[in-house]
Amino acid sequence: MTTSTILYIRSSGICLFLTAYFSLFLIASVILFTPFFKTNFEPKPVVNLEPNDFPADYDFINDYQWENTLFLNKSKINILQHTRTGLRWPTGQAGLINCSSLQEVTDLEFVAAGWTKAVYKGKFRGQPVAIKTVNLNGHEFGMCQQRQPETPFSSCYRRAAAKILKELILLTELNHENIVKVLGSCVPDAVGPVVVVTELGEPLDTVQLLQLSWEHRLRLALGVARILHHLAHSPLGSLAMNDLRRQQFVLVDGVLKLSDVDDMGISEPICHTSADCSLHKVYNTTEIPSVNCIHGLCDGYNERLNIWRAGQHFIRQFLPLRAPSSLEPQIQLLLDAYSGVNLWNTQDILSATESLLSTYSTRETLDSGNDDYRKYSDSDLPDTLDYTCSQSESRSGCVHTVNSQYQAVELCNKDIQCQAIVVAPHSVWPGHIRVVFKKGFTTPTMKMGYYLLLKPR
């Protein structure tokens, strides 16, 4: 066989490989490899969460050198400098979803797409799951092909898939009650889409957040504090959430969980002096001192940065809203901490948030001494005891939507006309109760599901 014949055969084989690769992944971006799933669905428009393009001087080749090594990191090799243990390939566990069992996923639906990933939801043996794979319509993949037209399709896919593998490893390493649980993955040895499967959560919607009761939002703030503390003291060292926004979190059975970690920084910034560790540009003030440069790293930089970002994009937007006035001093301390004023670390913030929730829960319990209001079940009072008040939701009575019984009692105590509270069994907003204040008391009438709180004299 001649040399030209060999080259022709080899060239034909490569073309066939790339053609098959392109076709397979193009289909995967729409229906996530049809042979594996039984339910078809209509293609959804891609929603890119990051509208900015790569900078003109972006170095694709060098930037992805370490990410490409993830495909080879099947032993516990330290592939990154400045980490305590290095990222390790997740050890296989019995019961996890794999490439073979992935075909059992049913009811597949498109959820969302971002810069790198496309996310689907489905059911695996009756359990809701989230499925993450490469977004072939995303900026990351598209800009790779645009910037490097000669780069093979497989290389661009490999680079984007490396970020998904990074997320797989991080989610496995960062096992925590407030971080989504990995249920399985598929990383084919040959041609095939890279897939990570996690527990399914509900996205955090701004309107939904504002409609939650204040206690529920306080519990979300506690979840944020726990996540920040865990990232600051993780097995991999102090980690940085470079893209800490509402979209990185989901609610799983009402519990806040971090779900998107592929942009996480896994080392503190490198430095020569403490001047290199300035946080002035981050906080937009010169009043915040820089962290110290210790052994060539900005010690505590990631922790401080995470706190500030969580405050700007999360805590400060929903914690103060409709908060009990009696808790405002404690809440303000937390807000100051998230703005960097009092230089609290994540342990300080976690302790303060736990204390705030404990204080609120203690005062919330009517039976433990909340002004000794007497409760009448399945009871109501006649309309003749209605009166009008400021900020009422009704012109014919004093009607409020509150986040708890405690808030209703607090408002009634401030209203000299209020002598009793009728609590309805339903409300316009989830997590809230609708109450009607009454100016007097008489023999209650029966009304199933309602209950009456009588103000002590």
Which residues are catalytically annotated?
243
Query: What length does the chain have?
Result: 457
Contacts for 345 with CB less than 8 Å, ≥ 6 apart: 232, 300, 303, 307
Distance CA 298, CA 273 (A): 9
Angle between helices 214-232 and 346-364 (to 10 degrees): 160
User: Which are the contacts of 67, defined by CB distance < 8 A and separation ≥ 6?
Assistant: 159, 162, 163, 165, 166
Bridge partners, residue 117, by sequence: 134
- CA-closest candidate to residue 186, choices 171, 160, 168, 163: 168
- CB count within 10 Å of CB 24 equals 15
* Helical pair 301-310 and 328-339, crossing angle rounded to 10 deg: 130
165 three-state secondary structure: helix
| Best CA proximity match to 414, nearest among 381, 376, 371 | 371
Would you call 352 helix, strand, or coil by DSSP? helix
Query: What does DSSP say about strands 255-258 and 445-454: parallel, antiparallel, or unpaired?
Result: unpaired
Question: Which pairs count as long-range contacts for 268-272, CB under 8 Å and 24+ apart, including other chains?
Answer: 268/82, 268/237, 268/238, 268/240, 268/297, 268/298, 268/299, 268/300, 268/301, 268/302, 269/297, 269/298, 269/301, 270/82, 270/296, 270/297, 270/298, 271/296, 271/297, 271/298, 272/296
CA distance 164 to 129: 16
**365 CB-contact burial (10 Å; exposed 0-12 / middle 13-18 / buried 19+):** exposed
Q: Which CA distances in Å does 245 have to 1, 198, 205, 228, 231?
A: 60, 20, 12, 13, 15
Q: Among all chains, which residue has been given the structure tokens 């940065």? A: 305
C-alpha 450/C-alpha 276 separation (Å) is: 62
CA distance 105 to 221: 34
**DSSP 3-state of 230:** helix
